[in-house]
Amino acid sequence: MAEPKENPLMEKIVSLCKRRGFIFQSSEIYGGINGFWDYGPLGAELKRNVKELWWNTMTRQRDDVVGLEATIIMHPHIWKASGHVDTFADMMRECPLTKKRVRADQVEEQSGTAISFVGCVSKQTLDSILVVLQPTEQDDAGRNALVKWATHIVTTESMPLEQQKALAEKIMSETKGDVKKAANVVLQMHVTQMLRDNSCREPFAVLLAAGKPPESARKIAAEFYGARGINEPILLGEQAAKVENSPDFHPESRVRLGDPRPFNLMYKTQNGPVESDENVVYLRPETAQAIFAQFKNVLDSSRVKVPFGIAQIGKAFRNEVTPRNFTFRSREFEQMELEFFIKPDEAVEAISGSVTSASQLATLDPQPNWGWEAWHKYWVEERIKFYEGIGLPRTTLVEYWQKPEELAHYARATVDILFKFPFSKRDAQGELMGEELEGIAARSDFDLSQHERFSGKPMGVFDEELRAAWGKLDDAKKAELAKRYHDARLKYFIKTGVEQAKAEKDAKEDADGLAKGQYIPHVIEPSAGVDRLILALICNAYYEDQMPDEKGKMETRVVMKFHPRVAPIKVAVLPLLKNKPDLVKKALMVRDLLRPHMNVFYDDGGAIGRRYRRQDEIGTPFCVTVDFDTLGEKPELLDTVTLRYRDDGKQDRVKISDLLPRLLEKIR
Amino acid sequence: MAEPKENPLMEKIVSLCKRRGFIFQSSEIYGGINGFWDYGPLGAELKRNVKELWWNTMTRQRDDVVGLEATIIMHPHIWKASGHVDTFADMMRECPLTKKRVRADQVEEQSGTAISFVGCVSKQTLDSILVVLQPTEQDDAGRNALVKWATHIVTTESMPLEQQKALAEKIMSETKGDVKKAANVVLQMHVTQMLRDNSCREPFAVLLAAGKPPESARKIAAEFYGARGINEPILLGEQAAKVENSPDFHPESRVRLGDPRPFNLMYKTQNGPVESDENVVYLRPETAQAIFAQFKNVLDSSRVKVPFGIAQIGKAFRNEVTPRNFTFRSREFEQMELEFFIKPDEAVEAISGSVTSASQLATLDPQPNWGWEAWHKYWVEERIKFYEGIGLPRTTLVEYWQKPEELAHYARATVDILFKFPFSKRDAQGELMGEELEGIAARSDFDLSQHERFSGKPMGVFDEELRAAWGKLDDAKKAELAKRYHDARLKYFIKTGVEQAKAEKDAKEDADGLAKGQYIPHVIEPSAGVDRLILALICNAYYEDQMPDEKGKMETRVVMKFHPRVAPIKVAVLPLLKNKPDLVKKALMVRDLLRPHMNVFYDDGGAIGRRYRRQDEIGTPFCVTVDFDTLGEKPELLDTVTLRYRDDGKQDRVKISDLLPRLLEKIR
């Protein structure tokens, strides 16, 4: 809420992103679409590099993690099991006129005079009733009586059919023989029904704008009821009342808000050629659930054993109420998620005799006696190392351990890795507090257990090592471990609403299973947002410094100091002059030498100094210049080029034949 | 339609894909979701490799193509401009009972007795009217009269309010003073209104199942009207009629279908916290449009000049009525699209003096005098070369030139590149005809022109070379080129519904612009489907052959002969025995040597022959075995390993130090 409205550094960064083709507003020529951003040529390369590095680090460079690429639209029951259908929602209040919604906890308070109505009735109806009732007496008295009647009708419940029937029978038997009386009764019923059918019973209120007459409120009310199908509404039950600091009116429309209702953040759509509630599907709000849903397929088709992980990169969608901070909180975004499945601590203890606690960790090389604490700590460290490896120093990051009251009921621990963005809030000491790049959660066996319950398909694994070890335990140990496992399972069942007797039966079965080598794996989940990481890399890379121009005069330079590993373009190859065929030919040769191994930018346009600046501004770490010495003007420099470094502008003379290994070493 | 129901080869392939972790059904544990497929660990790697190769070939290895990564959800006007909102639809007919839809041109014909109804009225209404009218005479005669009245009411139009009013006035003035008569009139109006309010006027018909009585049809009709809010419906106007070979009934429900209506294949969702028609957005049905929408941003931010291209890889969604052929026609799929922007032929001719026609092409190196024909031919060849380069021989492909009548009105030419899938239909000679992998379309300047018109933002470029060249043309040439350009623009405007006078004015302005170096670029679009390419690679790789087992006995082997460039795993590193620490240590060293450069699988479990077979079945082109000779048992073989080739099972002895360059050469 308390965001600074302007942030000069962010404005510069946003502007550079557009100017240089990192990030554009989606659909800009059509006025844009809030919460959606496109990556331009350089942004697309930067993002590819980051995703490729994550994928390599997390899967290809490891024996214990495999990849997955699941669809964005999945079976809707997945989101029942995960809890998203029921609880992935913000409480919102809606303006019944404009349909605009506000977060229920974020309504700006308002004061003034509220004009309210209990409902309305259609003028046409009143007119036609007047025609029927009193063709000669369409005077105000008749009309006023009718309005009063209508007000009574819209503020009282309609009579159930059974009661109407009984009443009609009673009246008919009472008026039997008196046709006039009976006709009057029927007439009255008819008019009542007509009023009921052509009225709106929805109350409406609006705060008068300062100095405006009640007539302005009536206009707005008429618009409101008009949208409900009542043309020329006669407003009923008008009242005026003072309100002070009320959170009940929409800040823009000043119309009284509806009651708070949960607004699910998942995008919904219809799948298949049948439109029905059954065919509602969702755009995934996270990639993780697909990993759980395919856990057994992966286990059965790959040569993996617990502990092992499944990694996935992909798009996710959240219909955020207020997308903000450039690409940081977008509605369409990409995630890089790992679910790393581990043995429950009871299994580790049965096999290894004890479980290493996080504080006892002597090494960060995975060990058989690691329980969830050690694995969680391990992944926190691995992930921070990853960020350091792509150019985010530890000083720009914050390792935030969620407090017990912040944790979900199934989570054992969660660490958020924050990056200090220019738009982050500051703490009491004036330090940037940071925004979440990644969360690393120890989620117990909650997710697989949920899918087991909702799909009816077993999600457990059989662990031969555990079965063998269990047989060698003494009875006291067996009983202790079985009890701990039993109690944890029981807690899960009860917390998720399983009925007590069934929960006890299932927990006992699960504990019996443990003794036979069976369990549902626990999971550590490092879950990172690609787009926010890209934004962090861009913010972190942005520098303005002073550098001499070609005449030696100092000038301000904008430079993007991307780590060479992620830089969109690794090297620019520049012939000193464009109109010297020999220079151009040699430069093209150098380009073709490097291009199979890295992203090369060939540029022959403009003064060399200006070409350097252009590369600085897009973050190219190296420039290679082919000049007359390259062609042998100074014979000892034949086939050498100038290698210029972005960060300090220094230059080396390098043999063309040394170029590739020298650059490869820097960018890998 | 005429698909073979069973295809033993496809069944084997589908089964292998699941068993080995290439492709799983999405959300399988929840019964799956039709038209959605997940890529397992090996499939994900295969797909990444293919996308990476496409991206490298199309962008990083070229100076004239840059990348883009746009969002899936974009401003909905983009799909107005592209024509998708209005025309991306199949004509469908809906069963009004089950809501199931069928393609209007694909309804199976049916015969039998159709029982039809004109509508219904609620039994409760009849009952309560009978109570009011005739509390003592609820006999069949009264009821039948009422049903007849109701039938009349549901089959006639309701009277507009103005007429009702006039009629009421007339009757009232005629019956003035006669209260009984007036009351009867009012009563009749009331009953009419009640019948109208509590009836359904929708006709309904259903084909009787063979041997079933009309009562069964009445039950279905009651269900239909019940779903429309009429409980205990009294069916009206029942008729029976014979029908022969009628396409008007749903094949499953046998209910008469609604009229054909266009069913848009785009997935719709609501964006933002306001639910309204204005906030309807679509999941993109193709990636191409984002490229056109961001054309100017890319042009302005990148150092590119026409001719140049913008490439994009990303997900797209089509709510296909009948997804089929494994992953070939999916509802969620991925595309790799290039829009390559070129000068209009008139500009090429002004600059180069003439335009090379496709038949005159002497070289496939781009030339300044290439017009759209040459560029189109060039991209067809480039794309076929790409497929050859990843292991699809030209003999498995078909180059299909669309016939003039198959082309969209704006397309100059389209070539489809087909792959001969096992499920493809066969021609008269028994040859597989192939299914589309990619379309390469010459789309004129249609797309950018549409976005210019719909967004009001200029989409043209300024071409200094053209401006300079134009000044040197003689007047006859200027007039000829301007006229050709004018006529093409005029044709576009007229075809897209621009009013004649405005079209002529705009075409003239555009022709004047050409003389000043301005034009809207034309485009060549090579558009490929990732998933169908993956399926082609899998089908093409699948072989069964005979190979001796460890005892020399021939046995059938399943082998996936992926090109090493795309193979999910490049090399398996296998210590001969798992329980010899020295072997394992050496093997891990070899693994760590190769791993930074390629995807390595380390496997120490089981007999070596079985490990080879496992790698054959997942398409790993190379296996490296570390044995006792590696450790120096035969001193001359110290630090050598066995390199085994997947396709023929042959083996070489290779120095560990030679391994990396040898493998790199094969996989690049």
Half-sphere exposure of A527 (CA within 13 A, CB side): 21
Tokens representing B315? 């997900």
Which one, of A19, A41, A7, A24, lies nearest residue A599 by Cα? A41
pLDDT at B250 exceeding the cut of 70: yes
Which of A32-36, B149-153, B332-336 has the weakest average pLDDT? B149-153
Q: Compare CB distances from B128 to A32, A55, A161 and report the shortest one's residue.
A: A161
Tokens representing A601? 């930018």
**Which residue out of B63, B66, B279, B301 would a mutagenesis test of the A interface target, given it has the greatest number of A Cβ atoms within 10 Å?**
B301
Residue A2's pLDDT band (boundaries 50, 70, 90)?
very low
Those of residues 69-98 in B touching chain A at CB distance below 8 A are 69-75, 77-78, 92, 98
Q: Quick one: average pLDDT of A458-462? A: 97
Tokens representing A414? 């969660």
CB proximity B149 to A under 8 Å: no
- Nearest-neighbour CA in chain A from B239: distance (Å): 29
Q: What is the pLDDT of residue B475?
A: 96
From residue B236, give the alpha-carbon distance in Å to each of A601, B123, B258, B294, B533.
77, 12, 19, 59, 57
Partners of A654 in the β-ladder: A641
pLDDT at A131 exceeding the cut of 90: no
Tokens representing B373? 């024909």
For residue B438, how far is the Cα from the chain centroid?
Answer: 12
Q: How far apart are CA A307 and CA A379, in angstroms?
A: 13
B180/A179 touch (CB, cutoff 8 Å), yes or no? yes
Half-sphere exposure of A503 (CA within 13 A, CB side): 14
From residue B55, give the alpha-carbon distance in Å to each of A41, A59, A594, B571, B629.
12, 21, 17, 23, 42
**Which residue out of B52, B69, B660 would a mutagenesis test of the A interface target, given it has the greatest number of A Cβ atoms within 10 Å?**
B69
CB proximity A665 to B under 8 Å: no
Collect all residues of chain A within an 8 Å Cβ-Cβ radius of residue B668. 596
Q: What is the pLDDT of residue A169?
A: 65
A75/B26 touch (CB, cutoff 8 Å), yes or no? yes
B555-561, long-range: CB within 8 Å, 24+ apart, which pairs? B557/B613, B557/B616, B558/B16, B558/B616, B558/B617, B559/B616, B559/B617, B559/B619, B559/B646, B559/B647, B560/B16, B560/B616, B560/B617, B560/B618, B560/B619, B561/B391, B561/B619, B561/B646, B561/B647
Those of residues 179-218 in A touching chain B at CB distance below 8 A are 179-180, 182-184, 186-187, 189-190, 193-194, 197
What's the first-to-final CA gap in chain B, in angstroms? 41
Which of A395-404, A421-430, A440-449, B270-279 has the weakest average pLDDT? B270-279
**Which residue out of B25, B28, B38 would a mutagenesis test of the A interface target, given it has the greatest number of A Cβ atoms within 10 Å?**
B38
Those of residues 601-660 in A touching chain B at CB distance below 8 A are 602-603, 605, 614
B38/A290 touch (CB, cutoff 8 Å), yes or no? yes
Which of A56-60, A127-131, A462-466, B523-527 has the weakest average pLDDT? A127-131
Beta-carbon neighbour count of residue A604 at 10 Å?
A: 17
Which of A118-127, A511-520, B247-256, B510-519 has the weakest average pLDDT? A118-127
Element (H, E) at B642: strand B640-645
Backbone angles phi, psi at B272, to 5 degrees: 85, 170
Q: How far apart are CA A569 and CA A426, in angstroms?
A: 34
Q: Quick one: average pLDDT of A571-583? A: 96
Beta-carbon neighbour count of residue A591 at 10 Å?
A: 20
Q: Which residue of B has its CA nearest to A456?
A: B29
B267/A268 touch (CB, cutoff 8 Å), yes or no? no
Give residue-wise pLDDT tens across range B287-304: 999 999 999 999 999 989
* Higher per-residue pLDDT: B4 or A497: A497
Place of tokens 């039994």: B123
Alpha helix positions (H), B314-413: 345-352, 372-389
Q: How many CB pairs under 8 A join A and B?
A: 311
CB proximity B26 to A under 8 Å: yes
CB proximity A167 to B under 8 Å: no
Residue A507's pLDDT band (boundaries 50, 70, 90)?
very high
pLDDT at B556 exceeding the cut of 90: yes
Give residue-wise pLDDT tens across range B507-545: 999 999 999 999 999 999 999 999 999 999 999 999 999
Q: Quick one: average pLDDT of B332-339? A: 98
Q: Are B386 and B54 in contact (CB under 8 A)?
A: yes
Tokens representing B435? 């299914």
* DSSP, res B290: H
Q: Is the peptide bond before B307 cis (omega within 30 degrees of 0)?
A: yes
* DSSP, res B257: P
A275/B47 touch (CB, cutoff 8 Å), yes or no? no
In B448-570, the DSSP E strands lie at 461-462, 518-519, 522-529, 542-548, 554-560
Q: What is the pTM of this model?
A: 0.88
Q: Are B573 and B595 in contact (CB under 8 A)?
A: no
Overall residue count recorded for chain B in this entry:
668
Q: How do strand B600-602 and strand B571-575 relate by DSSP bridges? A: parallel
- Share of residues in chain B with pLDDT > 70 (%): 93
A128/B66 touch (CB, cutoff 8 Å), yes or no? no
Q: Compare CB distances from A77 to B30, B298, B315 and report the shortest one's residue.
A: B30
**Which residue out of B19, B29, B170, B335 would a mutagenesis test of the A interface target, given it has the greatest number of A Cβ atoms within 10 Å?**
B29
pLDDT at B441 exceeding the cut of 90: yes
For residue A293, how far is the Cα from the chain centroid?
Answer: 20
pLDDT at B2 exceeding the cut of 50: no
Who contacts A54 (Cβ-Cβ below 8 Å, separation ≥6)?
A313, A336, A386, A528
Phi-psi region of A237 (alpha: psi -120 to 50; beta: other; left: phi over 0): left
Give residue-wise pLDDT tens across range B349-381: 999 999 998 788 888 899 999 999 999 999 999
Q: Helix, strand, coil proportions of chain A in percent (round to 5)?
A: 40, 25, 35
Q: Compare CB distances from B99 to A164, A276, A668 and report the shortest one's residue.
A: A276
Q: What is the pLDDT of residue A32?
A: 96
Angle, alpha carbons B63-B68-B72 (nearest 5°): 160
Q: Which residue of B has its CA nearest to A131?
A: B169
Q: Quick one: average pLDDT of B96-120? A: 90
Collect all residues of chain B within an 8 Å Cβ-Cβ radius of residue A26. 70-71, 73-75, 290
Which of A126-130, B10-14, B262-266 has the weakest average pLDDT? A126-130
From residue B442, give the alpha-carbon distance in Å to each of A89, B410, B435, B521, B564.
47, 9, 20, 12, 33
Tokens representing B320? 């296909």
In B283-359, the DSSP E strands lie at 308-317, 332-342
Which of A506-510, A528-532, B41-45, B119-123 has the weakest average pLDDT? B119-123
Helix-then-strand count for chain A, H and E: 21, 29
Which of A316-325, B439-448, B524-533 has the weakest average pLDDT? A316-325
Q: Which residue of A has its CA nearest to B173?
A: A135
- Share of residues in chain A with pLDDT > 70 (%): 93
- Nearest-neighbour CA in chain A from B310: distance (Å): 8
Q: What is the pLDDT of residue A3?
A: 45
CB proximity B294 to A under 8 Å: yes
Give residue-wise pLDDT tens across range B498-508: 999 999 999 99
Q: What is the pLDDT of residue A78?
A: 97
Q: How do strand A571-575 and strand A435-442 relate by DSSP bridges? A: unpaired
From residue A385, give the alpha-carbon distance in Å to each of A11, A179, B118.
30, 94, 74
| HEC string for A506-569 | HHHHHHHHHHCCEECCEEEEEEEEHHHHHHHHHHHHEEEEEEECCCCCEEEEEEECCCCCCCCC
B186/A187 touch (CB, cutoff 8 Å), yes or no? yes
A27/B78 touch (CB, cutoff 8 Å), yes or no? yes
Q: What is the pLDDT of residue A176?
A: 61
Buried b (16+ CB within 10 A) or exposed e, A15-24: ebbbebbbbb
B232 residue type, one letter = E
Half-sphere exposure of B381 (CA within 13 A, CB side): 12
Collect all residues of chain B within an 8 Å Cβ-Cβ radius of residue A61. 595-596
Q: How far apart are CA A520 and CA A543, in angstroms?
A: 49
Collect all residues of chain B within an 8 Å Cβ-Cβ radius of residue A34. 272
Give residue-wise pLDDT tens across range B576-614: 999 999 999 999 999 999 999 999 999 998 999 999 999
Q: Are B178 and B227 in contact (CB under 8 A)?
A: no
Q: How do strand B268-270 and strand B199-200 relate by DSSP bridges? A: unpaired
Those of residues 434-473 in A touching chain B at CB distance below 8 A are 451, 454-455, 457
Q: What is the pLDDT of residue B470?
A: 97
Q: Which residue of B has its CA nearest to A333?
A: B71
- Share of residues in chain A with pLDDT > 90 (%): 76
Element (H, E) at A475: helix A475-495
Tokens representing B90? 């199949």
Q: What is the pLDDT of residue B83?
A: 94
Which class for A89: exposed (0-12), middle (13-18), buried (19 or more C-beta within 10 A)?
middle
- Share of residues in chain B with pLDDT > 90 (%): 76
SS3 of residue B334 by DSSP? strand
Q: What is the pLDDT of residue B139?
A: 61
Q: How far apart are CA A342 and CA A524, in angstroms?
A: 8
